[in-house]
């Protein structure tokens, strides 16, 4: 009998021996409740990783952390000139600067989180292959990183809202609630994009076009109902569909709280809640299902 024939039964029995003694592969996917517990146990790593990325991101520039505020402000200034002044987007919109900045800051938070989430696995393969940890830690850390940047931007936004004539209102106490719901949605969306980005190599090329289309469809520069139904003459359901777009819902919710003369449809409140819960739960489940495949290949 050859050596190969002698070792084959032995190697075949190894799997049976491992199962008999409760052994399993090191990268095996844990049960979902256990997976969530592992993430909670690594919460300090996730927060530290996000903070260190935030600090190092602007460490090489002269203005440093100021770019967290300057980047959306410069974008908003360009869009204000183009859409507000040249194309007349500010027509019939009270306090258009605050209207525009609110839309820009809220949308940028989701846009940057989704984009970063798509690269969180594919851009950290060396870390994933070297260490054993819940892979969802990476998209979660990227979301926290963007949330930290948003905190600075929201401080600037509130100052601008006051300067442009909006009074302080009790509704401002609801701002953290909107940000909580949006963060829940962003976490779920980031997890979904992380799994897709780990397997679809062309996603990085498509994302800029997807994000740009999403930007224009979310009413960042214009009042959705006025432009879609009033100016374009499209059916009412088109405006409704645009309001139910998650980015538009969070933008309209925030504008409703900060701008006294802005009254979006009441359905955006329910839309924000539904998008937050469904996307968070679905995103975690979808990402967890492929936990044992990240970093292979």
Token pair for residue 156? 């600037």
Query: What's the full length of the chain, in residues?
Result: 297
d(CA 177, CA 52): 26
Per-residue three-class SS string for the chain = CCHHHHHHHHHHHHHHHHHHCCCCCCCCCCCHHHHHHHHHHCHHHHHHHHHHHHHHHCCCCCCHHHHHHHHHHHHHHHHHHHHHHHCCCCCCCCCHHHHHHHHHHHHHHHHHHHHHHHHCCHHHHHHHHHCCCCCCHHHHHHHHHHHHHHHHHHHHHHHHHHHCCCCCCHHHHHHHHHHHHHHHHHHHHHHHHHHHHHHCCCHHHHHHHHHHHHHHCCCCCCCHHHHHHHHCCCCHHHHHHHHHCHHHHHHHHHHHHHCCCCCCCCHHHHHHHHHHHHHHHHHHHHHHCCHHHCCCC
In tens digits, the chain (297 residues) has pLDDT values of 444 444 444 545 665 765 665 555 556 678 888 999 999 999 999 999 898 888 777 666 666 667 777 776 787 788 778 777 777 667 778 888 889 889 989 999 999 999 999 999 988 888 888 888 889 999 999 999 999 888 888 888 898 899 888 898 899 999 999 999 999 999 999 999 999 988 887 888 899 999 999 998 998 888 888 888 887 788 999 999 999 999 999 999 999 999 988 888 889 999 999 999 999 999 999 999 988 888 765
Integer CA distances (angstroms), 280 to 56, 105, 179, in order: 28, 21, 14
Token pair for residue 21? 């003694």
Token pair for residue 68? 């967290």
Token pair for residue 51? 């903070």
Nearest C-alpha neighbor of 246 from the set 203, 183, 288, 200: 183
d(CA 205, CA 142): 20
Token pair for residue 237? 């359901």
Helix 267-288 / helix 175-199 crossing angle, nearest 10 deg:
40
Q: Express each pLDDT in 238-283 by its tens digit.
A: 999 999 999 999 999 999 999 988 888 889 999 999 999 999 999 9
């Amino acid at each position: 009998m050859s050596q190969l024939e002698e070792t084959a039964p032995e190697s075949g029995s190894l799997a049976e021996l491992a199962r008999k003694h409760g052994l399993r592969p090191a990268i095996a996917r844990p049960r979902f409740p256990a997976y969530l517990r592992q993430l909670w146990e690594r919460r300090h790593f996730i927060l530290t990783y996000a903070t260190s990325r935030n600090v190092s991101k602007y460490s090489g520039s002269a203005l440093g952390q100021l770019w967290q505020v300057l980047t959306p402000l410069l974008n908003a200034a360009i869009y204000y000139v183009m859409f507000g002044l040249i194309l007349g987007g500010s027509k019939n919109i009270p306090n258009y600067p605050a209207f525009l900045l609110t839309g820009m800051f809220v949308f940028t938070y989701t846009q940057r989180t989704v984009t970063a989430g798509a690269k969180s696995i594919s851009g950290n393969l060396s870390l994933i292959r070297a260490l054993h940890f819940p892979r969802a830690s990476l998209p979660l850390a990227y979301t926290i990183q963007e949330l930290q940047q948003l905190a600075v931007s929201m401080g600037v936004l509130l100052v601008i809202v006051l300067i442009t004539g909006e009074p302080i209102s009790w509704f401002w106490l609801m701002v953290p609630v909107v940000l909580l719901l949006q963060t829940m949605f962003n976490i779920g969306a980031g997890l979904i994009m992380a799994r897709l980005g780990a397997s679809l190599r062309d996603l990085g090329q498509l994302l800029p076009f997807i994000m740009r289309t999403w930007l224009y469809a979310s009413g960042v520069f214009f009042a959705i109902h006025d432009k879609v139904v009033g100016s374009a003459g499209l059916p009412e359901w088109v405006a409704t569909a645009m309001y139910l777009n998650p980015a538009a819902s969070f933008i309209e919710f925030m504008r409703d709280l900060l701008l006294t003369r802005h009254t979006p449809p009441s359905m955006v409140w329910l839309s924000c809640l539904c998008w937050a819960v469904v996307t968070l739960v679905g995103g975690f489940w979808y990402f967890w299902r492929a936990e044992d495949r990240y970093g292979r290949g």
